[in-house]
């Protein structure tokens, strides 16, 4: 257990060190992915969207972009799978937003 914890901490430190050295952040990755997708460079777009999802698996925007990249390459099944994840994510966001809004309205009365 201790070795696993040390490994996780080490990987996290390496990731954040790499990120700060090269001044790379998720917004940059997203911009790179979108630019590649706009240029029909689906291989590059897939690489960046996938990297974003490794960092944040709940990133609906990255999933939507990855779905489009898959669809453009003809990998319809993989695209459909990503779109289903986007729908699930969107429904979760809508439910959370509706609940929060309801609480705010109740507090204002």
57 domain-assigned: yes
- Whichever domain contains 65, its CATH number is 1.25.40.10
Q: Which domain holds residue 98?
A: 25-108
Q: Would you say residue 11 lies in a domain?
A: no
In a domain, 96, yes or no: yes
d(Cα 60, Cα 64) in Å, to the nearest integer?
Answer: 6
Query: How confident is the model at residue 10, as a pLDDT?
Result: 62
Residue 97: inside a domain, yes or no? Answer: yes
pLDDT for the residue numbered 92: 87
Sign of CA dihedral 11, 14, 18, 19: positive
Asked if 78 contacts 70 with a C-beta cutoff of 8 angstroms, the reply is: yes
pLDDT, tens digit (0-9, with 9 covering 90-100), for 52-81: 999 999 899 999 999 999 999 999 999 999
Domain count of the fold of the chain: 1
Q: Is the residue at 10 inside a domain?
A: no
- Which pLDDT tens digit goes with each residue over 13-37? 566 555 544 445 778 999 999 999 9
Token digits for 20?
């700060």
Q: Is residue 76 part of a domain?
A: yes
């Amino acid at each position: 257990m201790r070795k696993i914890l040390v490994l996780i901490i080490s990987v996290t430190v390496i990731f954040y060190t790499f990120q700060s050295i090269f001044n790379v952040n998720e917004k940059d990755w997203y911009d790179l992915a979108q630019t590649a997708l706009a240029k029909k460079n689906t291989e590059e777009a897939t690489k960046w969207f996938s990297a974003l999802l490794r960092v944040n698996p709940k990133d609906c925007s990255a999933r939507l972009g990855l779905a489009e990249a898959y669809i453009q390459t003809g990998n319809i099944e993989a695209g459909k799978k990503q779109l289903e994840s986007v729908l699930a994510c969107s429904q979760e966001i809508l439910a959370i937003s509706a609940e929060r809004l309801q609480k705010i309205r109740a507090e204002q009365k």
